[in-house]
Structure 1
Amino acid sequence: MKRIILFLATNLAVMLVLSLVLNILGIGRGVSAAGINVGELLVFSAVVGFTGSFISLLISKPMAKWSTGARVIDNPSNSTELWLVNTVRALSERAGIRMPDVAVYDGEPNAFATGAFKNSALVAVSTGLLQSMNRDEVEAVLAHEVAHVANGDMVTLTLIQGVVNTFVVFLARVVGFFVDKVLLKGSEDRGPGIGYMVTVFVCEIIFGLLASIIVAWFSRQREFRADAGAAKYLGTPVPMQNALARLGGLAPGALPQSMAASGISGGGGGWGALFSTHPPIEQRIAALSNVR
């Protein structure tokens, strides 16, 4: 639950800071005493909504290496590294993509894929995962991450995040305008007042939380697709099911909050499941039973 809260807080903070900076600079507030300039407000909302998402995507690969200490395997130094490189190469050929960089980092069991472009991605596994799983299970995890890359999941999630952020910014200002009009009814003030600013701030938080539920739902769907992709590349869902079952019995290794959605495992029950970027392990294993 703590990871979910921090993930949501980070996204909201980025959006609020961008909004504040652009307002200070006088760029595209989009409302006046006369009414709402829909075109200007939409442009402003899109700039705020997409800027942070695209910046995060573009720097995702170097940031992932820096924040986890992942070491790209340029020249395999042992049999395990050679096997990792050869396995990812074979999986990439089956997926029809250029081979991603392969990296290893110190940590508890986890793995991730990241990168702004399908043909220049990064696939990384932790030392804990390599020590806790047999090679068939590790291969399934690698296939899952390669499927993320082949499906273009990093770009898709960025676009979805940008779209919902745009609606959050836009709707918050529309609500803020109407609340301000009610509070200043009969006043001769020519621009938005304190009611507008407070309402926008509160609405961005509330709408942002609702938007996070939508983004989390899409993220969970991409996990199901990546599991199915792994089953396709391996010719059977059994290794992926075994890998997930193994992960279900291990404490997942923590990743930096900006990468919370990129790990191989996660998920939970209760209300927190609405904001979870991963489905419960049991659901993922069950879904693979229908993959042929």
Structure 2
Amino acid sequence: MLRPALRRLILLLMTVIAASSLLFVLIHLGGDPIDGFVAPGSSPEVRQQVRDRIGLDRPLTEQYGVYIWRGLTGDFGESWRDRQPALAAVLARLPTTLGLAGVAIVIAVVAGVSAGIMSALPWPGPIQAAVRLLAMVGQAIPSFWLGTLCIFLFAATLGWLPASGNDGWRSVILPAFTVAAYPGSVLARIIQASMIERSSRPYVTTARGKGLRERTVWIRHVLPNAVLPALGFMGVQAGFLVGGTIVVESVFAYPGIGRLALQAATERDLPVLHAFVVVTVLLVSAVNIVIDAVSRGIDPRQRQRSTPGLGAAPG
């Protein structure tokens, strides 16, 4: 147990350092970082005062060392623009984004699993064809285009739902649906392919040979074994959900960390962006740990592979 935990910790630290380093390079490659929040035409004296205040007067190597240390210790300093604690700004908006992501995950799982099952069952019909078509379309449509279409149709034209903001549960529906469209569509196709592949396995043939009804065979023997690939996909998708929320929160003016990160990127506010990156890495890592634990609980073979001495005996 100690060795896998230590391996995960080292991998997490390396990921934080790599992501932080990439952000540092990108911010400094674009020119002077203070150009994002200092008024155009400011005097050289004013610009130098700002550089002195935020530490940009130091050598670049020293800036980088302090920057990485702050990322590892959680002390990101103050926002370069409004002088508020950077981590506090991210954490203040984190619950809003987590709520949006939670609703989106529920929609993606329910719709994706249902669509995957319907499209894999050996009883073809027009509904099955429509579900498969929707899954293909959901993968192809960019989230910003889908979000704009939802605003035009359900907010501007029909007036059913608000177009922006965070005013109660009705404001979550359109952004959550937009975020869920892509992962739900991919999940549907994974479930479909996994169920079709497992429907010809020997244990399924044995179940049919015992006289079980076809519906029972699919529900009891095919579906449970088709879930594991979907769990792995959701772990990988956790990182993409964060990227999706940045676009979707901007389209719907949703006050989460995605919109905050986009504003910080526009203003080149490195402390806020740094806090966002590290918090995101920690969240994605936590989600993957939970999914990995669930996968091991469902599939005993994974527990055996991860436990020394419990592997298969040599033949």
TM-score range, shorter chain: 0.3 to 0.5
Q: Which has the higher contact order (CA 8 A, sep 6+)?
A: 2
Which structure: larger Rg?
2
Structure whose residues are more often helix by fraction: 2
TM-score, normalised by the number of residues in structure 1: 0.37
TM-score, normalised by the number of residues in structure 2: 0.35
